[in-house]
Amino acid sequence: MQKTALYKAFGLAVSAALISACSSTGDVNEGAGSTEPTAIESQAAEAGQQAETNAVEAGAVAGESLEAQATEAQAALLEMTVFYFDFDQSSLKEDGKDALKAHAAYLAANASARVILEGHADERGTVEYNLALGERRAMTVRRFLMANGAKAGQLQVVSFGEERPAAVAHDAAAWAKNRRVEVKYQSR
Amino acid sequence: MVTRFLQLLMCVWVGAVVSVAHAELVIEVTQGKQSAIPIAVVPFEWQGETAPPEDVSSIIANDLASSGYFSVMPASNMISRPTQLSQVVYPDWSRLQQDFVLIGRMSVLPTGYAVEFHVLDVHQQVEVFRHRVKGKASQLRDVAHYISDFVFKKLTGIDGVFSTRLIYVTTNRERTRFNLNYADADGAREQLIFRSDDPIISPTWSPDGKKVAYVSFENGRSEIFFQTLATGQREKIAAFPGSNSAPAFSPDGTKLAFVRSQLGNPDIWVLNLATRQLERITRHYAIDTEPQWAADGDSLIFTSSRAGGPQIYQVTLADKQVKRLTFEGKYNARPRLTADGRKMVFVHQSGDRFHIASQDIKSGRVHILTSETELDESPSVAPNGSMVIYAASEADRSILAAVSVDGEVKFRLPSKYGDVREPAWSPILQ
């Protein structure tokens, strides 16, 4: 269900991008460049600059920006860097898989990119068991990324157990936020 | 007499304020034994011009009260305040329903102080024992704890642990500052051992009480360090690729059991500290962690998720045979054995709550020890096997609390600021 919603969102994002790309290539590219200062978006920004400097090649530039927009939708998925887990569980939830696939695709396409997969647990249960649980969660993410194209050398696993909560409250909502793996890019 | 009484009262009062201002943790007894022994600790005589460096008799009174084995009479309820045997009127104490009276005197010596005390049996109307202890000004708290241990052992038959120490981690709410601290078992005289911006977990004592081992994330991941208490000297002991954690010294201090995760799979290893030889003890795709040595050094108990959720197992070192020990409930972890090896205490999930439970090793009978506190974790057993200190959550903060292994005695050690976690009770220190 959530998966379908995500695909729909992806589709909408792409079609919205197409519409705006048709109306004004330069604007869209500039927008992408200014709001998303990541490695992928900087390519889009370059494309935009080309569009401005050479109007004659507008058609070719438009084609490039289409590709850039598709990449941008991927980039939206890449923005998702935190993946959540159930209590005492280290299996991936369905709703994070598309984003993880996007990360895997990015890593496969960018051999020099490196990430740290940081595993965490909520405060319930014991400190050392939670340290191990955080590591297992990060390992699950590692396996999934590798199955989808990332290389072992790009992925480093570390667990902080229950020591670095994202939310400091002591309730179910905070615990849900704390049972997580964070994908942290060290280089792009 | 009245003036003298006021002076004494002032000393007690000043002493109390000073100790509160300096102590990071302050004991509050929440539940004593039903059969607690009534004892009156009469403020000791003091001949000095100014207040004594430590109020020895009130430290003793606090020690005995915090143990839960004694019901200590408040000084304000006393009819008389004898400091010499000849001043004791037994019927007074009998009327006040006391079983024992502790009286004493503190005097100045050229080299320090001498404390002489007597313990009197109210019913038999006899002196049970007397003793004299000497110390420098800086040792007066130690003298007080020594007397508490002496009295406790004589009257209960159990070794006192008032002269032992605790190590524990304090942290701010944002988890950006971590302090590893060292303090008396009553929370007094706290000293910083190690400070870091990164997490510190799993502190533990060497059997001789001279060293501590702990896990520090100062290099971005979990590594095991030793630190000698007297010198502060640190040594990195285990920093293998992956995670290194859950250190536990063998009873003879020659080996260290710990958790090492190769390729993300935590298993239990033993490091020979003299030869640096490593031996892998468990080999399972599930989580194996939190090893603790049996008293004979022949086996380890540990937590494993090999049956799905965490349960407690025992592995024999010689043949690596693994036996499951816990069967009640879906979450049992972080076992610690009592010194006599007859019981283990651990974290047990009961419904939605996490409590400290004990299990009789022979019968397997489980007894949940805590109910007032929430999110109980990190149990550590006192060297006399009577009390368990643990970390718990209270009103949005993490505090230390203690419960007797029989569940009858409970006290809290709340701190004035921040969270207190990961307590480890020292061995009996010589």
Within a domain: residue B277?
yes
Regarding whether B201 and B124 lie in a shared domain, the answer is no
**Domain that residue B127 falls in:** 2-156
| Neighbouring residues of B96: CB distance < 8 A, sequence distance ≥ 6 | B40, B73, B77, B78, B79
Question: What is residue B280's predicted lDDT score, i.e. its pLDDT?
Answer: 97
For B23-42, give the secondary structure using H, E and C.
Answer: CCECCEEEECCCCCEEEEEC
- B245 within a domain of the structure (yes/no): yes
Of residues B116 and A74, more confidently modeled: B116
Q: Which residue of B has its CA nearest to A118?
A: B221
Alpha-carbon distance B129 to nearest alpha carbon in chain A (angstroms)? 45
CA atoms of B283 and B287, how far apart (whole Å): 10
Cα separation, B155 vs B157, in Å, equals 6
DSSP B62-117: HHHHHHSSEEEPPGGG-S----SGGG--HHHHHHTT-SEEEEEEEEEETTEEEEEE
CB atoms within 10 A of CB B349: 19
State the pLDDT at residue A66: 60
B195 in reach of chain A (CB within 8 A): no
Which of 94-123 (A) contact B at CB < 8 A?
Answer: 123
Q: What does the pLDDT read at residue B372? A: 85
Q: How far is CA B393 from CA A113, B329, B406, B412, in A?
A: 41, 21, 22, 11
Q: What CATH number is associated with residue B75?
A: 3.40.50.10070
Rounded Cα–Cα distance for residues A87 and A74 (Å): 29
Q: Among B199, B264, B265, whose Cβ lies nearest the Cβ of A163?
A: B199
The whole-number pLDDT of residue A64 equals 57
Nearest chain B alpha carbon to A169: B396
On whether residue B418 sits in a domain, the answer given is yes
pLDDT at B29 over 80: no
Judgement on whether residues B140 and B57 belong to the same structural domain of the protein: yes
How far is B349 from chain A, CA to nearest CA, in Å?
8
Instruction: Please tell me if residue A142 touches chain B, with a CB cutoff of 8 Å.
Output: yes
The answer to whether B393 contacts A131, with C-beta atoms less than 8 Å apart, is: no
Mean of pLDDT values over B353-357:
95
Among B125, B156, B187, the domain boundary falls at B156
Q: Is the dihedral of CA A104, A106, A109, A111 positive or negative?
A: negative
Confidence of residue A63 (pLDDT cuts 50, 70, 90): low
Predicted pLDDT at A65: 60
Indicate the pLDDT class of residue A32, thresholds 50, 70 and 90: very low
End position of a domain, from candidates B110, B138, B156:
B156
Q: Do B62 and B211 sit in the same domain of this protein?
A: no
Q: Which of A136, A163, A170 is closest, CB to CB, to B396?
A: A170
Confidence of residue A50 (pLDDT cuts 50, 70, 90): very low
Per-residue pLDDT of B361-382, as tens digits, reads: 999 999 999 988 889 999 999 9
Q: Which residues of B touch A127 (CB under 8 A)?
A: 201-202, 334, 377-378, 421-422
Do residues B144 and B182 share a domain?
A: no
Instruction: Give yes or no: residues B178 and B198 share one domain.
Output: yes
Identify the CATH homologous superfamily for domain A82-187. Answer: OmpA-like domain (3.30.1330.60)
Q: How far is B328 from chain A (nearest CA, A)?
A: 16
What band does B430 get if pLDDT is binned at 50, 70 and 90?
confident
pLDDT exceeds cutoff 60 at B428:
yes
Same domain assignment for residues B389 and B349: yes
| DSSP secondary structure letters along chain A | -HHHHHHHHHHHHHHHHHHHHHH-HHHHHHHHHHH--SHHHHHHHHHHHHHHH-GGGHHHHHHHHHHHHHHHHHHHHHH--EEE--TT--PPPGGGHHHHHHHHHHHHH-TT-EEEEEEE--SSS-HHHHHHHHHHHHHHHHHHHHHTT--GGGEEEEEEETSS-SS-SSSHHHHHHHSEEEEEEEE-
Rounded to an integer, the average pLDDT of B300-316 is: 97
What is the C-alpha separation between A155 and A121, in angstroms, rounded? 20
- Span A44-51, average pLDDT: 37
Q: How confident is the model at residue B7 (pLDDT cuts 50, 70, 90)?
A: very low
What tens digit of pLDDT does each residue of A100-147 get?
Answer: 999 999 999 999 999 999 999 999 999 999 999 999 999 999 999 999
* C-beta atoms of B259 and A132 within 8 A: yes
DSSP category for residue B160: -
Per-residue pLDDT, A76: 84
Checking phi first, is residue B183 left (phi over 0); if not, alpha (psi -120 to 50) or beta? beta
Q: Which of A63-72, B109-118, B344-353 has the lowest average pLDDT?
A: A63-72
Question: Which positions 231-250 of B are in contact with A (Cβ < 8 Å)?
Answer: 242-243, 245-246
B173: three-class secondary structure by DSSP: coil
Dihedral pair phi/psi, residue A136, rounded to 5°:
-60, -40
Q: Count A/B contacts: CB-CB distance under 8 Å.
A: 98
Express each pLDDT in B9-24 by its tens digit: 333 333 333 333 333 6
For chain B, say whether A77 makes contact (Cβ under 8 Å).
no
Of A35, A38, A34, A32, the residue nearest A65 (C-alpha): A32
pLDDT in tens, B101-126: 999 999 999 989 999 999 999 999 99
Which is more confident, A51 or B151? B151
Are B152 and B11 found together in one domain?
A: yes
Q: Residue A110 burial by CB count (10 A; 0-12/13-18/19+): exposed, middle or buried? A: middle
Which of B156, B187, B209 corresponds to the end of one domain?
Answer: B156
Tens-place pLDDT, residues B246-289: 999 999 999 999 999 988 899 999 999 999 999 999 999 999 99
Dmax over Cα atoms in chain B, in whole Å?
75
Q: Does the pLDDT value for residue A57 go beyond 60? A: no
pLDDT for position B8 = 37
Are B79 and B217 in the same domain? Answer: no
Average pLDDT, chain B: 91
Establish if B430 belongs to a structural domain. no
The answer, yes or no, to whether residue B333 has pLDDT greater than 80, is yes
Residue B327 included in any domain: yes
- Pair type for strands B299-307 and B288-293: antiparallel
Q: Per the domain annotation, does B381 fall within a domain?
A: yes
Per-residue pLDDT for A55 more than 70?
A: no
Same domain, B141 and B240: no
Which pLDDT tens digit goes with each residue over B156-196? 999 999 999 999 999 998 899 999 999 999 999 999 999 99
Is the distance from CB of B348 to CB of A96 less than 8 angstroms? no
Task: Closest CB to B377: pick one of A127, A160, A168.
Answer: A127
Which B positions 291-350 lie with beta carbon below 8 A of chain A? 303, 305, 309-310, 331, 333-334, 347, 349
- Of the residues B171, B174, B200, B201, the best mutation for testing chain A's interface (the one with the most A CB atoms within 10 Å of its CB) is B201
In the predicted structure, residue B336 carries a pLDDT above the cut 90: yes
The verdict on a CB contact (< 8 Å) between B349 and A125 is: yes
Total of domains in chain B: 2
More confident residue, B143 or A7: B143
pLDDT given for residue A67 in this prediction: 64
pLDDT at A3 over 70: no
Q: How far is B291 from chain A, CA to nearest CA, in Å?
A: 10
Q: What is the pLDDT of residue B374?
A: 86
Confidence check: pLDDT of B78 > 50: yes
Residues B70 and B26 grouped into a single domain = yes
Could you tell me the residue ranges of all domains in chain A?
2-78, 82-187
Alpha carbon of B106 to those of B54, B324, B356: distances in Å?
Answer: 10, 55, 41
Q: Which residues of B touch A133 (CB under 8 A)?
A: 287
How many Å apart are CA B310 and CA B287, to the nearest integer? 8
Is there a contact between B182 and B193 (Cβ–Cβ < 8 Å)? Answer: yes
The Cα of B329 is separated from the nearest Cα of chain A by a number of Å equal to: 13
- Looking at the structure, do residues B206 and B108 belong to the same domain, yes or no? no
Position A72 scores a pLDDT of 76
Average pLDDT over residues B395-416: 88
- pTM comes to 0.83
Helix (H, G, I), strand (E, B) or coil at B353: strand
With a CB cutoff of 8 Å and minimum separation 6, the contacts of B330 are B308, B309, B349
pLDDT bin (cut points 50, 70, 90) of residue B148 is very high
CATH number (domain holding residue B362): 2.120.10.30
User: Do residue B150 and residue B263 come from a single domain?
Assistant: no
Partners of B174 on chain A (C-beta within 8 Å) are 168
**What percent of chain A is modeled with pLDDT above 90?**
56
CA torsion, ordered A15, A16, A21, A23, to nearest 10 deg: 120
